[in-house]
Every structure is written in C-alpha cells, then in structure tokens.
Amino acid sequence: MKRIFHYGVFLILLLASSCRTPQNIAYFQGLESLTQAQIETMNQKYVPRICIDDALIINVTSPDRVSAAPFSVPPYGFFMPGEAEIGISATTQNLFTYLVDDNGNINFPVLGRVHVAGMSVNDAIRMMEEMIRKDAPEAVVHIQIANFKVGIIGEVELPEIYHIKSQRISILELIARAGDMTVLADRKNVWLVRDNDGEKVFIHMDMTDPAIFASPYFYLQQNDMVYVLPNDTQRKNSQFSELDNVKISMYTFIVTSISMLITAVLNIRQQILR
C-alpha cells in the first residue's frame, strides 16, 4: 500500500513539474554589471530612411507664399487685399501623399522625378530645399513618412500591426505596446523580419542580453515584423490536443483521489493498530 502511495505522489509531482512556469523571464540579465564604457557604446542615434513603397507627406512653406504655391498640392488660393483667403487644412493636406515608386523616386510638382529612396528624412529635406530655393529662396520643406508601421506576433499579449506617428520606435517600445511578452515567451529567441527593397532579412535577437541596446536593429524600420517564439514548455504543450489535455486532467484527478484514499486508509489502520 505504501509503495502505491509513493508512486501516486511521484506521478503528481511529475505532472506538476511539467506545467511549471518558466523562471528565466527577466530582461537584460547582467545589466547591473555593465561598465560605463560598455553603456556608452550602447548609446545610438536613430536615423529613419525612406524606402520603396513609402508614402510621404511633403509640405513646402515660405513667407513668400506665392513663390511656394507651385510646390504645394493642391496650391493655396490667393485673393486681392480685403478678400477672404482660402487655405488647406492640415487634415486635407495630409491626404496628398507622394508614393516612392519601384525605382525609389517620387513625382513632385515642378521638380518632376526626385530620387529619395535610401536617404534619411533629413537628407531628403536638405536636398529638396536646395532644389526648391532656386525658385522660392526662403522655402522650408517638411517630410513625414505617412505609412510608418511595424508588427509583432507570437507570444505577446496584443499581437497586432501598429501605426507609428513619431517614426521612431525601438523593439522594447513595440513589445510594451503589445502588452509585454507572455510568461510562455522565449526571451532568448526573438526574430526580426525586415524587407530591404524586396529582400527578406532575418535577425535573431536575445532580449535577456543587455547588448540588445547596442544592436543596429534596436530601432525598428517601417514594415518590420517581430516574431516572439514560444518557450520549450509551450512547444511541448502544443503537442497535446484538447482531448489529450482532458485525459491528463482526468488522470491527475484519479491519481489524486486514489492517493487521498490510500492516505485515509493508512491513517485508519494506524489508529486501529494502536
């Protein structure tokens, strides 16, 4: 009887250990031991770059609005002094975007085709200002990527495509927006899928390593997709069907009941022997 009882206890512990929550869930392990020199190497600036298929919002402004008008779509309407002036609201202005074609060009008023793919936003602004100021000396150009979006799937609370207005987001910020990783996520096994002009690039990332801050992929690029893989426990559990899980639950209940019954019988027997 005691041997059966011991077998029952062993089986219960075995089943419980198979459902144990993984303990290794901390980010940036060893961060407290980094030297100041190592921390300084992790400081980096993010430079957003324009890619093929990007939709760009481009606004041209100038104190001399007459000279800047040909570079605006649609142009502002001007009236004689004393008459009401009709402008374009910010909401309406944002509807007019310029698509970067397969050759990396946009078709811009007056300037025609302008190559911008691969350039940083700031470099594209400086280039276009230099071109436009030949006709509008005080013109100021503002460029924003209208379709900046990144996605995250896998073991996170809120897998989704996120549209980013700031054009700057790190992988940590994306994970935070997704409600953090679940306890079943493998924090050492995160993959970044990036499209570089039609060529897929796969980057492995370890979120438990503080060196992630120094990674050139720490800041995400538009259209990046992050995949958080499940840990070993989740992968093993996925091998069982729903029926298997029901069976395991039934077996656990039966073994627990038998163990409790055996314990009760043993206690009664000991009392009788006394």
Q: Give pLDDT, residue 100.
A: 94
In whole angstroms, give the CA distance from residue 62 to residue 190: 47
16-25 residue pLDDT tens:
444 444 456 7
Q: Who's near 264: CB < 8 A, 6+ residues apart? A: none
- Average confidence (pLDDT) over 199-208: 92
Could you give the percent of the chain with pLDDT greater than 90?
39
pLDDT at 192 over 50: yes
133-177 residue pLDDT tens:
999 999 999 998 888 899 999 999 999 999 988 878 999 999 999
- Average confidence (pLDDT) over 170-195: 93
In whole angstroms, give the CA distance from residue 186 to residue 155: 8
- Paired with 42 in beta bridges are none
Q: Give pLDDT, residue 40.
A: 72
Q: Give pLDDT, residue 87.
A: 45
pLDDT at 42 over 90: no
Q: Give pLDDT, residue 83.
A: 44
Q: pTM of the predicted model, to two decimals?
A: 0.65
Listing DSSP states for 58-113 in one string gives EEEE-SSHHHHGGGSSSPPP---TTSPP----HHHHTT--EE--TTSEEEETTTEE
85-132 residue pLDDT tens:
444 444 444 456 899 999 999 999 999 999 999 999 999 999 999 999
Topology of the domain comprising 55-145: wza like fold (3.30.1950)
Q: What is the mean pLDDT of the chain?
A: 78
In whole angstroms, give the CA distance from residue 206 to residue 223: 21
CATH architecture classification, 31-47+148-230: Roll (3.10)
- Average confidence (pLDDT) over 178-190: 93
Cα separation values, 98 from 25, 111, 130, 229, Å: 44, 13, 19, 37
Q: Give pLDDT, residue 67.
A: 87
The encoded tokens of residue 55 equal: 């939709």
Per-residue confidence band for 53, with pLDDT thresholds at 50, 70 and 90: confident
Report how many helices (DSSP H) and strands (DSSP E) the chain contains, helices first: 8, 10
In whole angstroms, give the CA distance from residue 173 to residue 220: 10
Residue, of 250 and 216, whose pLDDT is higher: 216
- Average confidence (pLDDT) over 215-220: 90
